[in-house]
A and B are shown apart, each in its own frame.
Chain A
């Protein structure tokens, strides 16, 4: 009898743990589930009182509408171009610093690390005007490179920080061995270190892509027309003040979210490890 009691006592917290996780799961997923179910509801079901949870007869109309007859496809292409540009440029810009901070204990390295951390926490609403002026002076308002340049403001400190972690994680013995064998540092890095950290670099590149894809404030002030309007900005155009087509809006929101969730699933493990060592997203 005592054994049964003992088991019951140990089982109780597990039950509570499951209840907590299920409640958090409900909180976390309900709005997203509603977003997806609404996107499949026929137009006449969306504004029914009382509302109904599941689509009565699921339809793809909203998706077809968004993908063939809205600003969304072009905005998604723009977002992809901006985000790809940001990912490539930040990797090129950040790798040198990441390696230098991780490996060459040069004077000023620790100050530079502090700058990288602070840079991730600067409020974008504060930098919006001066960065807008920089982009304007370069004649890049309402262009894809202009939006990408503004995104570097927030993505470069983040990516460089993550690259520092990635390079620190590579075993230092490898490059030391290569240098003992007569390789110069550049050759050692190119032939020995890069292949080891390549998967991390890809993951960091994907994060840079995600950050840029999600960014709204800079994109909204720099884009003026379809030339440079990104997907998040285009999404806000769907929700008018009084006459929102919620079926189409939810379909568009699902389309904007899907690539992020899929990409996240791919790099999830790195993501969780990277989290433990520093900030990842604002």
Chain B
């Protein structure tokens, strides 16, 4: 590891991080239209989707040129609100005002870098002869899909709007939940080529400024050519990249994101990605779902408890099976032992191999099912059901009990509401199985201790990941295993390090007061 670090430093010294061929930072536009157009042609050489429309403005009779990238601009807006007024309308009373367009956002700029960026972002730029500035019109309009129901994190009672690939839409969806002036935003750009726009949303009087600064600093440090989605951004900025656990929460649900902002967390909207990042994350928020707040609290608590139970089942059940069969058969009640013995009798493999075969099969089936079209996906289910369920047992490759163990493990890992956490858990059971196969329960105990130690040591944006288990913060347990009624939760969790702890007054319903 050390070696690589040195190597990387050496590389950096040799060539500084630079993507563009000619530096535009200092360059300003010229008053001559023709020179500007020549510069445009130079910057955007071999760019067939660049459109340069030369015309004369009717009002002032000045030659002008509108430059934009087709496909990234909304043609209707360009035609109706930019070209039509400039070409055909003349207002005699206002001689001075030369650029009359019916658009909300018009910027003026004279540096080539800004202009280049504006064009690449889908704005149209108007150059006018004898002018030192160019006008940038907000005419963005790229291919996008409509707002649909959420895919991965579907819910019964939560809202049925999911984030889309357009950052501004996503911000709007969050803002709909929090129409408050304290909802502040910080805009940042990442990636020398990708120019990814990130918007950090937070409640200025609630979110902790240290945490915010940490997040901003980390993003500022990034030097990459491009980042394609929110998930890969997390890999760059999370605290411990070697951990199996996700340390920032990715969600496609606006209501969940808004809820976390209200708790004092910080949401990063990543343009072009249908997910937003929520940080600082704790271990427990990966076990929450929007439906917990849509169901009655007793029901929600029961489901919560099942998820935590499922967490342990998914990690430890196959490992326990291996340890019991290979080392500690004494702990099994006799009748169960006899039926396990009878079902394992024909299996030619040791329990570890048997378990690995089945777990790998299961993982392959799951992976195969994800990317297949729905119509073929059914086939995978049927094939899997037959292979795992019946044929493997009849052929004597695995035992019945093993099939039950695998099925239970699979179900348990799928009830974790967050995909990243579910994947982490599914992966963690393999090291546990190896430990159990070599050392029995001793290995399992060591595995569990390692896991606990790791979770305790983890941090998310400098905030303890294990909270409220470790450090132990009992007031936060109101929304942990048992979800207490909403009216009883008056404080924000300590794990968000919110500077304003109180979120509500006690709203306990008193019943009929008349």
Task: Tell me if chain B binds chain A.
Answer: no
